[in-house]
């Protein structure tokens, strides 16, 4: 079966990683799957024209019901959609977008939500058949490069400190866009750093929103204890995460944060902002720590520094949680089965 797979494909983002992983599952089942960036297309008519080209596509898949799913509204082949997170958390607040997403779900053969909570939100805000929406958590695979030089990484990020091995690096992994709120912790963290110079916040991720990127660069330049690291490959990023004291999430909304799950898999403690998408995977004081304000972040970070038993517990439980609930094997079987339903359409 020949499939078209549309997704927002900004490099080195969670969507890109997820799309590549799902494509590999589909192709390992013997299908041909062409992954294309939804940003390449202006209208559903363009995608319909592509699908009809010889040899034609026999089915389609999309990550993000609005950004990519709307482009499938004119195709005459069966398709499925995968909720991204911002579609359910943010786009439903816009009535025009909400109506379009309802149309997509009505036409879709199936939809996939990463969590029960996202499925409930979809049923609440969009007119969607419950039986159409399947819950499949993201599968997690981590691999670490052995080639990372930690000292060079820190130096390239602007960290100048002789006591490299004593530093407590808090790593905020996020693409630079508003929904990730990369500056949320900066001011309070800097104040905390001034009381203990070994506590460092490093922000790392692709520069997606150019206006916000300029703002982040300017703020970081004038703020002590906070640094912006150059982008890394997935292998390098996992190696950096493994060397950190904790991985941080400060997003306004999330579907399911790949960085949080990868940190758990790498046995790194997680400090995540208390929003529904994060609370669905981080159980406070069990698999990680949640915070609701920058001040509470500092409080929870101090607990992680002083309470070794707490640190060991969340690391151990986080690893077990990912192993149990985020198996790539289970994820693979789900997508192969669902894509099979397109084939039998």
List the CATH number of the domain containing 114.
3.40.50.2000
Q: Are residues 244 and 305 in the same domain?
A: yes
Domain assignment present for 301: yes
What's the sign of the alpha-carbon dihedral 233, 207, 304, 137?
A: negative
**For residue 345, is pLDDT > 60?**
no
pLDDT, tens only, 179-231:
999 999 999 999 999 999 999 999 999 999 999 999 999 999 999 999 999 98
**Strand 168-173 versus strand 199-204 pairing type:** parallel
Whether residue 26 contacts residue 3, with contact meaning beta carbons closer than 8 Å, is answered with yes
Shared-domain flag, residues 195 and 211: yes
Same domain, 112 and 160: no
pLDDT at 12 over 70: no
Same domain, 182 and 313: yes
Spell out a b/e string for 282-291, using b for 16 or more CB atoms within 10 Å of the CB, else e: beeeebbbbb
Nearest to 67 by CA among 145, 119, 12, 15: 15
- The arrangement of strands across the sheet holding 270-273 comes to 226-228, 199-204, 168-173, 246-249, 270-273, 289-291
Q: Are residues 132 and 84 in the same domain?
A: yes
pTM over 0.85: yes
Kindly report, residue by residue over 46-75, the tens digit of the pLDDT: 999 999 988 899 999 999 999 999 999 999
Is position 145 within any domain?
A: no
Closest CA to 205 of 245, 257, 162: 257
Q: Is 144 part of a structural domain of the chain? A: no
Q: Do 249 and 278 form a contact (C-beta atoms < 8 A)?
A: yes
How many beta carbons lie within 10 A of that of residue 167, not counting itself?
A: 19
Residue 74: inside a domain, yes or no? yes
255-283 pLDDT per residue, tens: 889 999 999 999 999 999 999 889 999 99
Q: Pick from 80, 90, 85, 93: which is nearest to 134 by CA?
A: 80
* Same domain, yes or no: 80 and 170: no
Contact 23, 5 (CB under 8 A): yes
Show the domain range for 238.
Answer: 150-326
How many domains would you assign to the chain? 2
φ, ψ for residue 206, nearest 5 deg: -70, 150
Based on the domain organization, do 288 and 241 belong to the same domain? yes
Distance from C-alpha of 98 to C-alpha of 91, rounded to nearest angstrom: 7
Q: How confident is the model at residue 11 (pLDDT cuts 50, 70, 90)?
A: low
Q: Do 169 and 293 belong together in one domain?
A: yes
Give yes or no: residues 268 and 130 share one domain.
Answer: no
């Amino acid at each position: 079966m020949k499939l078209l797979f549309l997704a927002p494909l900004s490099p080195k983002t969670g969507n890109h990683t997820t799309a590549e992983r799902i494509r590999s599952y589909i192709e390992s089942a013997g299908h041909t799957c062409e992954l294309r960036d939804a940003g390449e297309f202006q209208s559903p008519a363009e995608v319909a024209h592509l699908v009809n080209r010889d040899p034609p596509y026999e089915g389609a898949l999309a990550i993000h019901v609005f950004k990519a799913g709307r482009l499938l509204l004119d195709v005459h082949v069966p398709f499925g959609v995968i909720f991204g997170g911002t579609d359910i958390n943010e786009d439903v607040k816009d009535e025009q977008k909400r109506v379009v997403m309802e149309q997509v779900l009505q036409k879709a053969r199936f939809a996939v939500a990463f969590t029960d909570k996202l499925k409930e939100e979809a049923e609440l805000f969009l007119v969607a058949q419950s039986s159409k929406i399947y819950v499949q958590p993201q599968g997690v695979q981590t691999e670490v490069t052995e080639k990372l030089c930690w000292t060079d990484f820190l130096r390239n990020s602007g960290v100048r400190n002789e006591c490299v091995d004593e530093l407590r690096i808090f790593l905020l992994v996020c693409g630079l866009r508003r929904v990730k709120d990369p500056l949320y912790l900066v001011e309070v963290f800097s104040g905390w750093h001034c009381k203990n110079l070994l506590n460092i916040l490093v922000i790392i991720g692709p520069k997606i929103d150019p206006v916000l990127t300029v703002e982040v660069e300017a703020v970081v330049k004038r703020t002590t204890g906070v640094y912006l690291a150059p982008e890394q490959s997935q292998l390098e990023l996992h190696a950096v995460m493994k060397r950190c004291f904790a991985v941080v999430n400060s997003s306004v909304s999330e579907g399911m944060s790949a960085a949080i799950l990868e940190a758990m898999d790498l046995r790194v403690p997680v400090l995540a902002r208390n929003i529904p998408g994060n609370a669905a995977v981080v159980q406070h004081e069990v698999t990680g720590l949640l915070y609701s304000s920058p001040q509470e972040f500092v409080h929870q970070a101090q607990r992680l520094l002083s309470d070794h038993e707490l640190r060991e517990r969340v690391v151990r439980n986080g690893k077990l949680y990912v192993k149990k609930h985020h198996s790539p094997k289970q994820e693979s079987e789900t997508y192969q089965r669902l894509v099979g339903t397109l084939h039998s359409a």
